Amino acid sequence: MRRMLTIAAALTVAAVPLAAPAAATLAPGAKAPDFTTRGAIAGKVFTVHLAQQLKKGPVVLYFFPAAYTGGCNAEAHAFAEAIPAFTKAGATVIGMSADTVDTLAKFSAEKCAGKFAVASAGPAVVSGYDVALPQQVKGRSVTSRTSYVIAKNGTIGFVHSDMNPADHVSMTLAAVQKMAGTK
């Protein structure tokens, strides 16, 4: 119980003061832009292609501002702990940020516990999913904290955009479970 309270407290603390976006452009029912980029799982770099991932089932595509910041570390840990539930519902989780692949390779092993992929969101992906923030952190671009649940057919089934990381895991899991009929 104490550990869960610590995780919950960590999730409510923002790592950097960023303004929340007004709303994500991609609404439920919209077609998710396909992309191919590089990412990592458990420190191993590989190519991430959304269309390939969707062949397996729904995808939770969650954008986070920057690796190795308080809120993003806590959110990655919370997603890692929930991976068995996402897997049971047939979903794949992919974290996305504007960080470099080298940074994300380390982050995937350390903060994601090697349980799910994180990938580098280049300008086209950031623009396509409308997750750019005007601020920079340590001189680099950052994304909003926006989670998309993408159905196997490539349409957006659920969107949650909030800079507070606290509800992203529970809300996306509930959406995936509803989509799979397991809740």
Rounded to the nearest 5°, which phi and psi values hold at 172? Answer: -70, -35
Per-residue model confidence as pLDDT tens digits over 54-98: 999 999 999 999 999 999 999 999 999 999 999 999 999 999 999
- pLDDT for position 183: 61
- pLDDT for position 109: 96
Q: What is the 3-state secondary structure (H, E, C) of 8-74?
A: HHHHHCCCCCCCCCCCCCCCCCCECCCCEEEEEECCEEEEEEHHHHHCCCCEEEEECCCCCCHHHHH
| β-strands 146-150, 156-161 pairing | antiparallel
CA pair distance 90, 88, nearest whole angstrom: 5
Angstrom distances, CA of residue 159 to CA of 101, 115, 147, 167: 25, 22, 6, 12
- pLDDT for position 136: 75
Higher pLDDT, 13 or 43: 43
DSSP code, position 152 = T
Is it the case that residue 26 has pLDDT exceeding 60? yes
pTM, full prediction: 0.85
Average pLDDT of the residues in 14-37: 68
Average pLDDT of the residues in 111-133: 94
